[in-house]
Amino acid sequence: MPRNEKPTANGPAADYARDRMVSRRRFLAGTVSLAGLAATTMMIPRLHAQEVKPPEDPMRVPGALPRPYGDRSPFVKSARVGGAGPGAPHGWGENAPNNFNSWTPLQDLHGIVTPSSLHFERHHNGVPLIDPARHRLLIHGLVNRPMIFSLDELERLPAVSRIAFLECSGNSHDLWLPNAPDFTVQDTHGLTSTSEWTGVKLSTLLEAVGVQRGASWMLAEGSDAAGMDRSVPLTDEVLQEAMICYGQNGEALRPEQGYPLRLFLPGYEGNINVKWLRRLKLGTAPFMTREETSKYTDLMPDGKAYQFSLVMEAKSVITSPSGRQQIHPGFHEIRGLAWSGRGRVTKAEVSVDGGRTWQPARLQEPILPKCHTRFLLPWRWNGQEAVLQSRCTDETGYVQPTRQELVKVRGTKSVFHYNAIQSWGVERDGRVRHIYA
Ligand SMILES: Nc1nc2c(c(=O)[nH]1)N[C@H]1C(S)=C(S)[C@@H](COP(=O)(O)O)O[C@H]1N2
Ligand SMILES: [Mo]
């Protein structure tokens, strides 16, 4: 800041400075308790970090040598929860030990990009180990020239990169249930992450093979033990946006995200983004695979089920303060994420009184279509009970619904596509709790 520009006496920074003068002790205590909480929610077994003994004065000893592949500071403990194995809270148990989810720690993230190591995971039968030299992608069916591509061949074709979110349509599925357990935001919303994805446009490959008349659907098949396959409608939107990805956040895809190849359909439910992709087959109708008939359908109150509800509708959540955190009176910046599978987020609003009044939050650049968007709002907690909510609007004008509005239309028999407004209750002692308001 230039020297003659004084901070305003009433801005959030001044507000924060006043708090520090009044209660520096209390503020520090709060910071420590949050870090402790993050450590106790770690569930996945991790490599034992060596005991960390930082020097008294880091200026008096030479630092460490460079590492060929970096790692974070040993003091940073943020981790995915879930996964398989004994004690894992959300697996399918011993009958399907390799069928599991793991959740992104949204409460710990900054900005919009999810570190690849913290990207959420959904594996129907574990993570395959694939030799890239032997992996192939076959494109056949209603095409003029069926073709087989190696990874090298795909990487030579014109490349595109795009920052976009991925969300499992089962994200927030527990929130259909009537009871509200003491969840964190990681538990309620952690099946979504954002990466920069790099690859070849599907349309580039379809140009190469030559699409025959009448081809309107495409089967995408993975090479994992789940044999995951899904039908993709070849709409204009899909032809414009679908990517065959080999890159994630600047390096090769992680094995958990589909190394060496995955289909990426921005804004579409996680399940159709087939990982470890080996085959695309063009046809005239959907292929009616298991995942789009018995699974990934939406059961309505009248007993009928919707199929192919592929788009992830607009959704937002406050990531801090959020479930199981502890806050103290004074200045806070309310922070959260908003996203829509239909395009850009145009507005995020925050309520601190359970939806009676709303204030517009600041949207942080970049605001990208079909991408997590960070929203922020300064807030002074006065020590009284409060109910924190966020609601977003996307570029189609669609407004994120309340839980009552969603349940009125959808009932409570669904598993997928829950996108209602989330409520965090702040109790008088500063404890934040997942509630239905
Ligand atoms: N081959 C294959 N593709 C798959 C899956 C799978 O188990 N096997 N899981 C799907 C589901 S349900 C989701 S939500 C996303 C999860 O992607 P991620 O693990 O990279 O987050 O991948 C989809 N693609
Ligand atoms: Mo999913």
Reported residue count of the chain is 437
Cβ pair 100, 83 in contact under 8 A: yes
Q: What is the pLDDT of residues 142-183, one digit of tens each?
A: 999 999 999 999 999 999 999 999 999 999 999 999 999 999
Question: What are the pLDDT digits (tens) for 260-274?
Answer: 999 999 999 999 999
Please state, in angstroms and as integers, the Cα–Cα distance from residue 319 to each residue in 13, 64, 127, 202, 325, following that order: 21, 34, 29, 34, 10
Q: Is residue 79 part of a domain?
A: no
Q: pTM for this structure?
A: 0.91
Which residues contact residue 362 at a Cβ distance below 8 angstroms, ignoring those fewer than 6 apart?
375, 376, 377
CB of 228 within 6 A of ligand 1: the answer is yes
Are 349 and 238 part of one and the same domain? no
Residue 286: name the closest of 307, 267, 303, 301 by CA.
307
pLDDT over threshold 80, residue 92: no
**Cα–Cα distance, 238 to 289 (Å, whole number):** 19
119 Cβ inside 6 Å of ligand 1: yes
Q: Around 130, how many Cα atoms within 13 Å sit in the side-chain half-sphere?
A: 29
In a domain, 74, yes or no: no
Cβ(419)–Cβ(400) below 8 Å = yes
Closest residue by Cα to residue 417 from 400, 397, 435, 395:
400
Residues 220 and 261 in one domain: yes
**Does residue 241 surpass a pLDDT of 60?**
yes
122: CA distance to ligand 1 center in Å? 5
Domain end call among 288, 306, 324 = 306
> Is the model's pLDDT at 35 over the cut of 50?
no
Domain membership of residue 346 (yes or no) is yes
pLDDT value for 20: 74
Whether residue 85 has pLDDT greater than 70: no
Round to whole Å and give the CA distance between 357 and 221. 48
Structural domain that includes position 220 = 121-306
> What is the rounded CA–CA span in Å between residue 46 and residue 108?
18
Q: Are residues 278 and 327 in the same domain?
A: no
Residue from 71, 69, 23, 25 nearest 46 by CA: 71
Out of 306, 340, 356, a domain closes at 306
Q: Residue 232 domain-assigned?
A: yes
Helix extents (H) in 132-241: 151-156, 185-189, 202-209, 236-241
Percent of the chain with pLDDT over 70: 88
Which chain residues have CB less than 5 Å from ligand 2, an ion? Answer: 122, 168, 270-271
Closest by alpha carbon to 232, among 206, 200, 258?
206
The CATH number that applies at residue 182 is 3.90.420.10
For the CA of 222, the closest atom of ligand 1 is 1
Whether residues 431 and 323 share a domain: the answer is yes
Torsion of CA 128, 132, 133, 139, to 10 degrees: 90
293 and 159 in one domain?
Answer: yes
Establish whether residue 122 lines the binding site of ligand 1, counting it when its CB lies within 6 angstroms of any ligand atom: yes
- The reported pLDDT for the residue numbered 95 is 72
For residue 384, how far is its CA from the centre of ligand 1 (angstroms)? Answer: 43
pLDDT at 28 over 70: no
pLDDT score at 1? 38
Per-residue confidence (pLDDT) for residue 255, from 0 to 100: 98
Ligand 1 geometric centre to CA of 335 (Å): 28
Q: How confident is the model at residue 2 (pLDDT cuts 50, 70, 90)?
A: very low
Residue 336 shares a structural domain with residue 286: no
Residue 257 in domain: yes
Determine the average pLDDT of the residues in 111-140. Answer: 97
User: C-alpha angle with apex 77: 249 to 191, nearest 5 degrees?
Assistant: 55
**The CATH number of the domain where 322 resides is what?**
2.60.40.650
pLDDT > 90 fraction of the chain, expressed in percent and rounded: 83
Q: Is residue 68 part of a domain?
A: no
Instruction: Say how many domains are in the chain.
Output: 2
Is residue 102 domain-resident?
no
User: pLDDT of 369-415, one tens digit each?
Assistant: 999 999 999 999 999 999 999 999 999 999 999 999 999 999 999 99
The answer, yes or no, to whether residue 364 has pLDDT greater than 90, is yes
Tally of CB atoms within 10 A around 40: 9
Average pLDDT over residues 327-334: 98
Q: Which residue, 277, 306, 335, sits at the end of a domain?
A: 306
- Are residues 376 and 296 located together in one domain of the fold? no
Specify the ligand 1 atom closest to the Cα of 227. 1
Q: Please indicate, yes or no, whether residues 145 and 258 belong to a single structural domain of this protein.
A: yes
pLDDT attached to residue 42 = 39
pLDDT band of residue 87 (cuts 50, 70, 90) is low
Same domain (yes/no): 284, 355: no
- For the cut 90, the answer to whether the pLDDT of residue 140 exceeds it is yes
**Where residue 9 falls among pLDDT bands split at 50, 70, 90?**
low
| pLDDT confidence band for 16 (50 / 70 / 90) | confident
Q: Helices in 41-158 by DSSP H: which ranges?
A: 151-156
Q: Please tell me whether residues 268 and 141 are part of one structural domain.
A: yes
Q: What is the mean pLDDT of the segment spanning 93-109?
A: 89
- The reply to whether 101 falls in a domain is no
Q: Do 47 and 117 contact (CB within 8 A), yes or no?
A: no
What confidence score (pLDDT) does residue 47 get?
Answer: 43
**Average pLDDT of the residues in 223-244:** 97
Cα of 274 from ligand 1 centre, angstroms? 6
Query: Averaged over 55-81, what is the pLDDT?
Result: 95
Which ligand has the shortest distance to the CA of 173?
Answer: 2
Residues 248 and 330 in one domain: no
Which ligand is nearest to the Cα of residue 123, counting in written order? 1
Indicate whether 240 and 384 sit together in one domain.
no
Cα Rg of the chain (Å, integer): 23
User: Which ligand is closest in space to the CA of residue 416?
Assistant: 2
- 242: Cβ contacts below 8 Å, ≥ 6 apart: 201, 202, 203, 232, 263, 264, 265
Once rounded to an integer, what is the mean pLDDT over residues 344-364?
98
